[in-house]
A and B are shown apart, each in its own frame.
Chain A
Amino acid sequence: MKNNYDIIVVGGGHAGCEASHVAAKMGAKVLLITMDMNKIAQMSCNPAMGGVAKGQIIREIDALGGMSGIISDKSTIQFRMLNKSKGPAMWSPRAQNDRMRFAEAWRLALEENPNVDFWQEMVTEILVKNERVYGVKTGLGVEFYAKSVVLTNGTFLNGLIHIGEKNFGGGRAGERSSKGMTEQLVQLGFESGRMKTGTPPRVDGRSIDYSVMEEQEGDEVPGRFSYLGDFNNYKSQRSCHITYTNEEVHESLKKGFDRSPMFNGRIQGLGPRYCPSIEDKINRFAERNRHQIFVEPEGWDTIEVYVNGFSTSLPFEIQYEALKKIKGFENAVMFRPGYAIEYDFFPPTQLNMTLETKLIENLFFAGQINGTTGYEEAACQGLVAGINAWRKINREPEFILSRSEAYIGVLIDDLINKGTDEPYRMFTSRAEYRILLRQDNADIRLTRKGYEIGLASKKRMKLVEEKQRNLSDIMKLLKEESIAPEVVNETLQSLNSSPLTQKVKLAQIVKRPQVQLLDLEKGSSQLKEKLSNYEVEVKEQAEILLKYETYIEKEQKIAVKLNKLENLKINESLNYSEIKAMSNEAREKLEKVKPKTIGQASRISGVSPADISILMVYLESRNN
């Protein structure tokens, strides 16, 4: 059996799968080691991909040549474009997925690649010599060697599951936790921390009364994540349902508060503020007499449902009693209770922008081990780590995305410079250039980059080039061709938009907020004919570029301005302890991160604007 590889990926979750996929696709010999091959690409939390900011990340992964978009499309049971009523920067694709098919699709995709080997066992140790990793050792004592190792251990490192007063080791419900790794890494000099997350009970869908709940259907014309084409061929979609807790539910839950590991201090790790458990919601927002519950089907055929919004670690019998007081859940039968899980993570400020650790060469971290939460956040880190691990082996330049290029760039820059105390999740507000980082243009932003490093296929590149060509054709058409009042006035009046008195350029009409290009097409068969060769997506993008032109330009200007700071380089050998005027905290943080530019320095947490001014004055006086 082979025991020598280019890259070993430890962990088969979203980060591990994406890291294995990209490295193998670019040509690396990859060994994926997982504790259970039947659990590859498990959706450990809710069966859905995307959402606000996260949907944009999947589009970016896809544009670069990652698999997450395609896998999701293959297993989508419902698709919605969220925030359609807001501006295009907020449009966020989200899919509900068939949990089992999602995992199956990933496993088959990896199996399809001859460069990927698998090994099922627990890794207990990484092999390090001269501050450089050269392989891993498993529980059985087997050693595998590689030029690079990517750790994607998720919630498994010393995972501890809490349900009421009971707690036991585990990485997920029913799965063992991973032991030994944290201790070794700490011994090597890494700093570790503890985080907490939680998940709600799973329920038998046959026992739920959907008729009393609000139904949420998928989009009439379902979209998709992948720019590469349609991997789904929807014949139908499944609905989600919305119901609410009530005061009776809250009273029942409160009875268990004294036995809650959250409130009695047994849980040490910090949980996410934006994804609180139900007991946390009741406790913190006592004035609210109800909270939303989102009932998600787990797949096409399965009867299992996910009770989103009811994450809890209260004792099982309390969970059950309260659950049955929710409207529609009166006769609910539970499959398994909700739980909280604590796990080890390594503050990501110990990494370079490539996700390689600063301490051990060729060792990369991706996913929850870095203190993030979410499938999308994990997957994109896996992608970046996989790419860079392979490029480093080949002595190729680092692959780094900037904050103005991609949400992925924002995520990694935040992690490396700011670190995180609570599980890090992406929000659109974390991006300075939200209007530029849209879900509709991820391919235009990134596919060329993916193509140039040998990840995105030629087919993808061709599709983007075609899209850009079509886009400029449509833009030209809209900017040059005029439309007459008699053709368009009826449409305009029906949309409460003032009628024309003379011919104007089409672009002028498209710019009106109330008017959609689609409306104009409906009103004019001539226009419809002219635009018939173009795909909906391309037309939509042309419309976005026209309608929001001034805002897009504004943001581009800001990007240029702020990028000036990104171009102010700092010599890595700078001795920060010489700059006495700075706060101690800032000196320590800067010493640790060793930022490459003033822009990067300004984003490090604990470094104040005053510190940055001082740093700039210092650098300037040194230059003189």
Chain B
Amino acid sequence: MRQIASSVSTEDTIIALATPAGTSAIAVLRVSGKKSIGVTNQLFPKKDLNKVKSHTAHYGTIQHNKQIIDEVVITIFKGPASYTGENSVEISCHGSMFIVKSIIETYQDLGVRYAKPGEFTKRAFMNGKLDLAQAEAVADLIASDNASTHKTAVNQIRGGFSNEIKGLREELINFASLVELELDFGEEDVEFADREDLKKLVTKIKDTISSLLKSFTLGNVIKNGIATVIAGKPNAGKSTLLNTLLKEEKAIVSDIPGTTRDFIEDELNIEGISFRFIDTAGLRETKDKIEAIGVQRTYEKMKKASLIIYMTDISSISIDDFNKDISLLKELAIPFVVLANKIDLLPEQKIPANFVNIFPDTIGIVASNHDYADILKQKLLETIQLDNMQQDGTIVTNVRHYESLKNTLSSLVDVEKAIEDGISGDFLAIDIRQSLYHLGEITGEVTTDDLLANIFSKFCIGK
């Protein structure tokens, strides 16, 4: 029985557009599967592609029924040294949708099938080119639109994250072995690990996981942008500031639909990091008197933010109100920047000493003046402190990974507590095995149907 169901993807050759649809200078099509080189060769009269080396590019024309479709560059990848692990071809053609469509149809005529969503990555995974964490990173990479996301995703594809998890697993397995030794060979003449040593080992593993967990916040920031709330009364100059910032950057003002989170008004990219400015409508409504409800709503928005820009009209705010607002910000324990607008209206353009006393790091600005934009941007970067964190190693960006790590940590907390309580090793072992199980969920050591389904549904065609 050589014949198997046509849906068994490894037997088919597939094609898809690898660059975004629409008119562009060039478009790239990707073909993968056993017949990819052979079929391409039929359409490429210039030379015999069956005889060329892997990883070589060939200029020529694509022709079908003696008709030239386009001038193209063909790149040949021979399995297993290709993304999917199969023989693959990349066709760079002119970026007209008519040409793209014609090429795809020609391939379809020759028995090549249009790829399903995520199919290239699925093949790469099936051929052992990627593990689960890496496959997920591909989805992130495709979705990345700034330098930091890109960097994290690339690191993950190269296996940085997986390696870290594997290292953790090994340490845990070592730890588990020490415990198991004591259990199964308690009657024999062997020396056992000291409880203190066991505790130190757990603490060490816990620390590593904790720092990975912390990186999740950072990872999320990198992936989704920093949720930034500009708080302040309407006349404080909020919109002016935003416009100044955005104009300066010529940033794309975009609506991102379909999120259930707060409306995202504007996105600003500062040195490769996205800042998402979140609407704080609540503040607008409290025009005259400060209504309790209005304050509450603003407060809720602020609580969800990763960064708060507090803006005040320094020429009109009372010292008491300023004091109250600063206390509120401090309570929230979210990084914040304090801007004193309309400083040009003050004598000597200086913030009064009683205000500085309350919050020394208050920055005086004129919202409409572009000269202040750079100072503010540096301040924002500084406050979020990405620079030093970005450099060192692994960042968790995926919610599923975050959950698994959190579960691992909670099992380890149980282990630690059990050691402190002097509880027998057979119980420690349960929690250690649990934590191993959770770590395994990340790299796919424990696979379940829904896990895979979830992962593969995230991929777009041709990527």
Contacts and interface: CB of A to CB of B under 8 A. Distances in A.
Contacts of B197: none
Contact of A558 (B183, B184, B434): B434
Contacts of B128: 581, 583, 610, 614
Interface of B: 1, 4-5, 7-10, 85, 122, 125-128, 131-132, 180, 183-189, 421-427, 429-431, 433-434, 437, 440, 443-449, 452-453
Interface stretch (A80-88, A156-164, A329-337, A497-505): A80-88
B426 A87 contact: yes
A103 to B, nearest CB: 25
Interface stretch (A1-9, A188-196, A262-270, A424-432): A424-432
Contact of B183 (A90, A568, A612): A90
Interface string A576-603: 0011110100000000000000000000
Contacts of B423: 87, 513
A429 B189 contact: no
B184 A87 contact: no
B445 A609 contact: yes
B7 to A, nearest CB: 6
A565 B446 CA distance: 9
Contacts of B132: 613
B5 A51 contact: no
Nearest to A552: B430
B444 A613 contact: yes
A612 B430 contact: no
A575 B424 CA distance: 46
A614 B126 contact: yes
Interface of A: 51-53, 82-83, 85-87, 89-90, 274, 291-292, 309, 427-429, 432, 434-435, 513, 548, 551, 554-555, 558, 564-565, 568, 575, 578-581, 583, 609-610, 612-614, 616-618, 620-622, 624
Contacts of A610: 128, 131, 444
Contact of B426 (A86, A612, A618): A86
Given A85-B424, A292-B189, 14 more contacts: A90-B426, A274-B185, A292-B188, A432-B433, A434-B430, A558-B434, A564-B448, A583-B128, A609-B440, A613-B444, A620-B452, A620-B453, A621-B8, A622-B8
Contacts of B424: 85-87, 90
A87 B424 CA distance: 5
Nearest to B189: A292
Contacts of B434: 554, 558
A498 to B, nearest CB: 14
Contacts of A581: 10, 85, 126-128
Given A513-B421, A620-B452, A624-B7, A613 B430 contact: no
Contact of A618 (B8, B189, B429): B8
A593 B378 CA distance: 63
Contacts of B125: 613-614, 617
A53 B187 CA distance: 12
Contacts of B85: 581
A610 B129 CA distance: 10
B430 A554 contact: yes
A486 B240 CA distance: 75
A87 to B, nearest CB: 4
A427 B184 contact: yes
A609 B447 contact: yes
A622 B186 contact: no
6 contacts: A86-B424, A89-B426, A90-B424, A568-B449, A617-B122, A622-B8
A428 B426 contact: yes
Contact of A609 (B7, B184, B421, B444): B444
Contacts of B1: 575
